[in-house]
Structure 1
Amino acid sequence: MKETPVLKSSDPAGANQHYGDNPIEVRDTDHYKQEYVRGFVEKWDELIDWDARAQSEGQFFIDLLRERGKRQVLDAATGTGFHSVQLLKAGFQVTSCDGSAEMLAKAFENGRKRGLILNTVHADWRWLNRDLAGKYDAIVCLGNSFTHLHEERDRRRTLAEFYAALKHDGILILDQRNYDQILDRGFSSKHKYYYCGDQVTAAPEYVDESLARFRYDFPDGSTYHLNMFPLRKAYTTNLMMEVGFTSVKTYGDFQENNDDADFFIHVAEKSYDG
């Protein structure tokens, strides 16, 4: 699938997102700092719809962590705080981390509205252990966030930082869109998991083997974009193993053996007895 992209947005609400004259040339990991502008962050929860997302994923992540006896969790891609809040409410000890200061501020606000004080850390994954102290039972990196890393060296370094931040028997839970389907058969979505807001349109505007440029249209007429790297499922799992994780199990939309899913969830073990 390949379409001619809109080179410049005429929407004033998205004007602070700067991609230059040719947005599809912007394939730089550091650009995420300019993508999550305040206007976009303020609308992000319209895209997620916390209530609908909580219903769609149920106890999946909570059960995964409890079954493995994990308690101390690093939410490495906190975003607006959805999973940090769910895990805190379930009794886990949570550190909420994000590379976007705007996202962290929104997450803290969302937690406070629900009677929770989030322990937030502003950190770039590539230098994660410089900004964090201690080791974690589990790291969750959710919301298709890993695809913001455009260079392989950044992906390898981030996974190595995650590995180092885990205890000897820790686990990493990392998700991604089903980019295999998007690249090979075109985009379709059941709009049931993750991005559950039924008034927001999220779809790729341009796709090739090293870029998925998504466009987000909101009910007020505002439009925003994200440039991401389209990770293939096998590539991601192989990279995890190469970095040192001993086993990786992948779920599709919270189910086993579901390659037709909208999202994949990889559960990587640092050590494996079995």
Structure 2
Amino acid sequence: MKLERTKQDYGTNPLKVRDTNHYQAEYIQSFVEKWDELIDWDGRAQSEGDFFMQLLEEHGARKVLDVATGTGFHSVQLLRAGFEVTSADGNPVMLAKAFENARRNEKILRTVQADWRWLNRDVHDYYDAVICLGNSFTHLHDENDRRKALAEFYATLRHDGILILDQRNYDAILDHQIAPTHNYYYCGENVRAQPEHVDDTLARFRYEFPGDHVFHLNMFPLRKEYTRRLLHEVGFQRVTTYGDFKETYRDEEPDFFIHVAEKSYVEGGDEV
């Protein structure tokens, strides 16, 4: 029987943990149980509105693969809106929590545990859309892992499918030392989520919950244009980028960027 991890383990030097595989040791049971306090489902739903539903409907998408379901927020929202959803995550503790949350919301998730780098080994279907939300893509610390994951997303999409992928505005954090505002994504009122260390290869965030519960995540600080370039290089034809659910924004302002990458050939260039 595998023993459940009771605390995060970053070794003697946490700043050296720049390894994609380490996410399994980060999302321990006690952290996952606190995760929804950070998200605040009601606050998140209010801030997002029907942004993602509208995007999917504009592109004619009904069948959706949520590759980073986490505790299930977006999967449940999409199910409520009538989409057909498959919920995937690499962490079994997250998947179990997502299933439990869905049951509380009177929904049944179709779940699959899958590592993005070998997604199609475990997911045997084609989808109108793949969503990768919640800053999840920054868990990939190696460029080869990022390219492999994007190629797997691309392969599971139908010929006219779209990928919706978000990321923190690391450009603002790296270049302007602007701390995240948490106006849209992490809405929990009694939780603090702040960068503890940031350089070009690592963004280490500290999460403080009531009762002196402290956790950390080590992520790769993706720059916006770098992500857009990778999306093109794996084959996506056009990439439209939104800032905090708006198509017009100033680069230093948004907390998050949301990229919508289209697989099918469309005339006309990119949209920022």
Aligned pairs (5 A) from 1:24-43: 24-43=15-34
Q: Which amino acid aligns with 1:221?
A: D
1:272 aligns with 2:268: no
Structure 2 unaligned spans of 5+: 268-272
Corresponding residue for residue 263 of structure 1 = 256
Give % identity: 68
TM-score by length of 1: 0.94
Give the Å deviation of 1:16: 1.3
Q: How far is the alpha carbon of 1:220 from its aligned partner? A: 1.4
Partner in structure 2 of residue 171 of structure 1: 162
* Larger displacement relative to structure 2 (140-149 or 183-192): 183-192
TM-score by length of 2: 0.95
Contact 2:6-2:29 within 8 A present in 1 as well: no
CA distance in 2, matches of 1:33, 1:222: 19
Match of 1:90 among 74, 81, 84: 81
How do 1:116-127 residues align onto structure 2 when only pairs under 5 Å count?
116-127=107-118
Contact 2:167 2:256 in 1 (8 A): yes
Specify the SS of the correspondent of 2:137.
helix
Shift of 1:15: 5.9
Q: CA RMSD in A?
A: 0.9
> Greater relative contact order (Cα 8 A, min sep 6): structure 1 or 2?
1
Cα contact 2:140–2:220 (8 A) shared by 1: yes
| Alpha carbons 1:77, 1:145 under 8 Å: kept | yes
Give distance in 1, aligned partners of 2:210 and 2:103. Answer: 26
- 1:181 alignment partner in structure 2: 172
Check the 8 A contact 2:64/2:85 in 1, yes or no.
Answer: yes
> In the aligned structure 2, how far is the partner of 1:153 from the partner of 1:187?
29
Q: CA deviation at 1:40?
A: 0.2
Q: Map 1:23-172 onto structure 2 (within 5 A).
A: 23-172=14-163
Residue 190 of structure 2 is matched in structure 1 by 199
Q: 2:205 aligns with which of 206, 214, 217?
A: 214
Please give the alpha-carbon distance, in whole angstroms, between the structure 1 residues aligned to 2:214 and 2:265: 45
Alignment deviations for residues 225-247 of structure 1 (CA, whole Å, 9 cap, x no partner): 00000000000000000000001
Q: What amino acid does structure 1 have at the position aligned with 2:69? A: T
**Over residues 121-153 of structure 1, what are the superposed CA-to-partner deviations in whole Å (9 max), with x where a residue is unaligned?**
000000000001110000000000000000000
Residues 64 and 129 in structure 2, CA contact (< 8 A), matched pair in contact too: yes
> Per-residue CA shift, 1:143-197, capped at 9, x if unaligned?
0000000000000000000000000000000000000000011132222111000
Match of 1:147, as an amino acid? T
AA partner of residue 135 (structure 1): Y
Cα deviation code 1:247-271 (max 9, x no counterpart) = 1000000001322200000000001
Aligned residue identity for 2:247: E
Structure 1 gaps of 5+ residues are: 1-13
AA at the equivalent of 1:243: V
Tell me the amino acid that sits aligned with residue 61 of structure 1.
F
Q: CA deviation at 1:272?
A: 3.0
